[in-house]
Amino acid sequence: MLNLLRAPIGKAIAPLGRSLAHAGVSPDMVTITGTIGATVSALVFYPRGAFFVGTLFIWAFVMFDMVDGAVARAGGTSSRFGAVLDSSCDRIADAAVFATLAWWFAGQDQPALLAASLLCLVLGSLTSYIKARAEGAGFSCNVGIAERSERLIIVLVGTGLTGWPFRLPYVQAIALWVLVAASTITVIQRLATVWQQSRAQQA
């Protein structure tokens, strides 16, 4: 759904990518820094219920992580390993967000939201796994209403608005359950797409 924004975002961050490449920063360094920053921010802030501040830090590092592609293009250092590293690090950062939310809900005795967080964690990983496995088998799987960008926006906006100074208590719960539904639909969409392609090859 946010694929249409990739081109303008790419143009906006291109100057920063060139500057980092000229300074000798590698795209892998950007990827690892963004992942560590987002993961540590989630671990430090979310288990304490500091949702607004934590969301600001996580979002900042997630946005910084997006610069790795611009650095690779500017320095001519794109590699298949870099693509695998980037995808793997995305899974780490995503897991940190949902796991620390689950940690908070477990401590607050909120089993429904604990379950929602764990479902988001599992379904998000499954969504990415289906795409990777499908592409490895030679299929195209660029479908789904809740890809990584959408998932992060939903959970971070919902969580951030729950914290100070907004304190909107139901937004986070709504966001998590909407994300559970959207992720479930995405899993079904991707499996259906691969099944259709498989049937077409057998015909």
Q: Which residues are catalytic?
A: 90
**CA distances for 116 relative to 13, 99, 154, 181, angstroms:** 34, 11, 13, 10
Cβ pair 125, 91 in contact under 8 A: yes
- Please tell me what DSSP assigns to residue 163: S
Q: CB of 182 within 8 A of CB of 150?
A: yes
Query: Phi/psi of residue 50, each to 5°?
Result: -85, 70
Query: What is the rounded CA–CA span in Å between residue 27 and residue 151?
Result: 24
Looking at residue 108, what DSSP letter applies? T
Taking the C-alpha atoms of residue 117 and residue 194, their distance in angstroms, rounded to an integer, is 27
Cβ–Cβ under 8 Å, residues 46 and 100: yes
Task: Report the alpha-carbon distance of residue 38 to residue 45 in Å, rounded.
Answer: 11
Per the CB < 8 A criterion, the answer to whether 175 and 157 are in contact is yes
DSSP 10-36: HHHHHHHHHHHHHTT--HHHHHHHHHH
